[in-house]
Amino acid sequence: MPFILSLIPLILGIIWKFSNSSSTIRKGIGLAVIGALAGGLIYVRFAVEMEPSVLFLVSAILLSGFCSLLSQEDSQQAPDIYASIMIVLGLGLGVILNEAILDRIFLCGLLGYIATSLNREQQKTFRTKIILLHIVLAITLSLSSIFMGETSQMLAGLFLALTFLPLAPFHLPFVKTIKDAKETLSSFWIVVWLMIGLDELKTIYSFLTDEMLFILSLLAILSAIYASLVALGQKVNSLFVASATLAHSALIWGLLQVFPSFSKWGIPFGITLALVLGGLSLAFSFVQIRYGWKTIGNLPGLLSTMPRLGVVLVLLVCFALFLPLFPAYLGLGVMPTIETKDVGVVMTSLLFSVVWLGGSWYFIKMLHQTAFGEARTDIPYSDLGPKEVFSISVLILAATYSGIIF
């Protein structure tokens, strides 16, 4: 049953890639398929035993896919975006829902799909070549891990987890994918990417030693510093969101040595992070669809000229500013009353300071460049419609549920 659920959107997306059906038909069919998949997931949940964490990871992917499809307006690129969303949806579900060989086959399919998109570039830069080598290595490790011993499987899984729950210097495929994704597809990619990373980390978590956790914490601090500085000077909205995601992902890696029971705090926080940053990317895509702009600051004064979009940005930024508190709140809930293990207070405090202070700086700077300021007189401002407001609201509510209630 999980295999069939994964295959349905994948086959549909591939058919759409080579057909000329209208955008309206594709959107209607796509939304209906996601609704059917949600129903099928509920059936599987009650028919067979499924881990709650897997259910929530898959639910986040379905919810994000639904919102990305619903809020995508008809445009020249819309048919291709609908096809890509369904392909990525099918491959992402395949990675998380299936086990052993099928899991790795779907993961290799997803990595191959990314590599194919990169390979179509006419002029490959040195950075692109490095990313392609990274993806080839990930595919090789993913396939070979099936036949490896336990230690080799863990190391291969760690490489994949660092790629999909990105830390520098393993972040290049993530940043490139988000940068190249068109319109609402960028938001969906953020959620799918992080859900796969959380699933990979959940698998290898019990094999991580104290020495490995210390090294990962140090790498998390360096990655957070790097990503915060990049986000601070970033003008391209997709790269800004990708850098912010990279900075906040470091919190998960840095807190692995502090809080036990990763599934109980890391997965809820990871879902919250993905939905909030995915929501911010979705909001930026609405501007891109209307005006074709990807540069932050080209459209100031949104609170007065596009109040719905302005309020959405304010809400998302306020949520993002408090993201570092969520893993602490969730982690303390599962920590034993008496903790005798050295949890690296200094490193943890440093990581929180970097992510929180850095985020406060670049998020508020971005907000001042968009929501506030003097509105342009040469632009026909067009506020969000009901479908767009609904999509963003659903993501915010789901993020709140995952971060506070789950």
Start-to-end C-alpha separation, the chain = 26
- What pLDDT score does 393 carry? 94
218-259 tens-digit pLDDT: 999 999 999 999 998 888 999 999 999 999 999 999 888 888
- What pLDDT score does 274 carry? 96
pLDDT tens over the chain, length 406 residues: 778 888 999 999 999 988 887 888 899 999 999 999 998 888 877 777 778 888 999 999 999 999 999 999 887 788 899 999 999 999 999 999 988 789 999 999 999 999 988 877 666 788 888 999 999 999 999 988 878 777 788 899 999 999 999 999 999 999 999 999 999 999 999 999 999 999 999 999 988 888 899 899 999 999 999 999 999 888 899 999 999 999 999 999 988 888 878 888 889 999 999 999 999 999 999 988 888 888 887 888 888 888 999 899 999 999 988 888 877 666 656 555 444 445 566 777 788 888 888 888 899 989 888 888 777 878 888 889 999 999 999 999 999 998 886 6
Of 192, 237, 235, the C-alpha closest to 94 is 192
- What pLDDT score does 372 carry? 85
Listing DSSP states for 180-200 in one string gives: H--TTHHHHHHHHHHHHHHHH
By the 8 A CB rule, do 394 and 325 touch? no
38-50 tens-digit pLDDT: 988 888 777 777 7
- What pLDDT score does 338 carry? 40
- Residues with Cβ < 8 Å from 220, sequence gap 6 or more? 167, 250, 251, 253, 254, 351
- What pLDDT score does 329 carry? 61
- What pLDDT score does 270 carry? 94
The token pair that represents 105 in the structure block: 């086959």
CA–CA gap between residue 239 and residue 295 (Å, rounded): 10
- Number of helices (H), then strands (E), belonging to the chain: the values are 17, 0
pTM score = 0.93
* Angle of CA points 338, 344, 345, to nearest 5°: 80
Amino acid at 366: M
Listing DSSP states for 335-384 in one string gives: S-SS--S---HHHHHHHHHHHHHHHHHHHHHHHHHHTSSPPPSSS-----
